[in-house]
Structure 1
């Protein structure tokens, strides 16, 4: 499945309601029963489980490293759609409640949304990098309450100052896909601005949010990029800097790739049958790496339970890694990683004009 560009939703003006006809600003670090609207689900299912709740209790600071952000814009990603249906619930609930103190279903009402751009309202005692009034952006981890609300709490190390050249709406399109691509290319794949010059990069599923960001990141670091996408997206990925474009609808992708030199790195945003043929196009015994973002990690735990799911995941990953290492290439899985530090680096690229965002509105 291709990763689409995030869908943006504009937040309504914030208001703290104390009762009928009465509203005023309060400190959000105290657990007072003031409420806000938010898009929530009370059970897993299809779109009909999503509802607008007007009585969600405002979040408050629980830890000294947290900040409260007034949401100006938020976006939806495929992970939100999947979470609505219960994807990853077993693993995410363990992360929310490691000791299993709470009862089953305690995650509800669950607020979706990972991306946020907004203004800091209050900071915990140990937060020194931000102050009230700062314009910031962040990607909230999926085990926390999301951003489709008036206010959201984030750890200070998940937050970064918003790029100056972007509106809040534009900024809210980038954090989750940007950090996912950064995790795959840099943290997992080992690529950086000092070692990418001249390297050949293949991006499968290049027209989605992660793919379009990855194209720009690799071009900013000096790599040669080949993008696999549909003909409809050819002009987009070319505009973003792709050197070669393979239209998977116009013919056999493998046959088209055989006409090109081998690659140093492959990013797979699609999964499925792609894994069966993609690794054949890596340069063997040269440190070439295949990284996929489509893994069975969360599905295994949903299907088998946490313990057996982790065991099955470990066996699958290690088996594939060893198998391909014996053939002279590296095989790895990558995951979204929340990080204010990486967002700082992304913000520098945005401010310098090397990264652009593309918006689809709901």
Structure 2
């Protein structure tokens, strides 16, 4: 099968080097246990792809295949599977401890797989699994916001125009009664966030507390910090109500958590891969979340966050996608679809 990745000798190359990501021919994987063998039709690119490429050196002789979003067709199933069968169209975000989805065939545990939304084509669906799972878990599992609740309360989404922010804003607006405030620093991104349902958009290039005061909302009950948490932490603490909750997903430089003590603020980490890494007893929760997200998309409650379609799944197009993500100016999600010469 075709796969795209890098070896130890390619590790550390800048993304504008043609050798940073290249095409390989690898053996077709064989499903065992609870694994599904999926023929990959479309993928999207996330910041984690660029972080792993820059930070993980493969062992000698190993090919590191990236990619943690896919839509495809089940071609075979392991002997312990019970949810899916060959021919099912599925979507998922995979596990960071296993080979990625930038390959024609891919193995994934069925407990973290859902039936793809019928109303979306492969590209539109591929934009959503990783970010949808992350946003759902952050809102409902980590911050413990109740669905249908939140009247009179508010949430600030820092970095609302990115992949996770683009779906989190929709979930918060559609499934809770919270006042949703997103941050964006460019006019086109601010328009995108408003269009996704944010009640207000403020500029995270300015002090957050001053921007909130300008809206007449001096403090918020929840903050979902999706990027540059270390840069904004003092303003986040200032902006949270006493006993408020801070959830984050990025990898900030160390900051002094004692800043949270005076207000008795709680800190909540979200990592979408945790359930798969540790095969937690509730690992199948991700299957259930993906099923519910698909239903919400098919009802029109949510919409795809696809913003850029970069063509076929190729090394050159993946390098382009990584370049845009590393620039810090990506809006929504970048998707690639199909393989040159077919699957």
Settle same-fold status: TM greater than 0.5.
yes
One of 245, 257, 260 as aligned partner of 1:324: 260
Q: Would you say 1:225 and 2:187 are equivalent positions?
A: no
Post-superposition offset of 1:325:
4.2
What secondary structure sits across from 1:72 in the alignment?
A: strand
Question: 2:127–2:305: 8 Å Cα contact kept in structure 1?
Answer: yes
Question: 1:207–1:236: 8 Å Cα contact kept in structure 2?
Answer: yes
- Counterpart mapping for 1:1-362 below 5 A: 36-43=1-8, 44-45=11-12, 46-47=14-15, 48=17, 49-62=19-32, 64-86=33-55, 105=59, 108-221=62-175, 222-230=177-185, 231-249=187-205, 251-259=206-214, 260-261=216-217, 262-270=219-227, 271-285=229-243, 288-295=244-251, 320=257, 324-337=260-273, 339-359=286-306, 360-362=308-310
Name structure 1 gaps, 5 residues minimum. 1-35, 90-103, 300-315
Q: 338-347 vs 227-236, which deviates more?
A: 338-347
CA distance in structure 1 between the partners assigned to 2:272 and 2:103 by the alignment: 22
Spell out structure 1 runs of 4+ moving beyond 4 A.
none
What secondary structure sits across from 2:55 in the alignment?
A: coil
Post-superposition offset of 1:82:
1.2
What secondary structure sits across from 1:133 in the alignment?
A: coil
TM-score by length of 2: 0.78
What secondary structure sits across from 1:355 in the alignment?
A: coil
- How many residues are paired up? 288
TM-score by length of 1: 0.74
CA distance in structure 1 between the partners assigned to 2:301 and 2:61 by the alignment: 39
Post-superposition offset of 1:263:
0.9
Structure whose alpha-carbon radius of gyration is higher: 1
Q: Deviations over 1:178-220 (max 9, x none)?
A: 1111222121111231433443110010100101111000011
Post-superposition offset of 1:173:
0.5
CA distance in structure 1 between the partners assigned to 2:60 and 2:112 by the alignment: 24
Question: 1:196–1:218: 8 Å Cα contact kept in structure 2?
Answer: no
What secondary structure sits across from 1:267 in the alignment?
A: strand
CA distance in structure 2 between the partners assigned to 1:107 and 1:240 by the alignment: 45
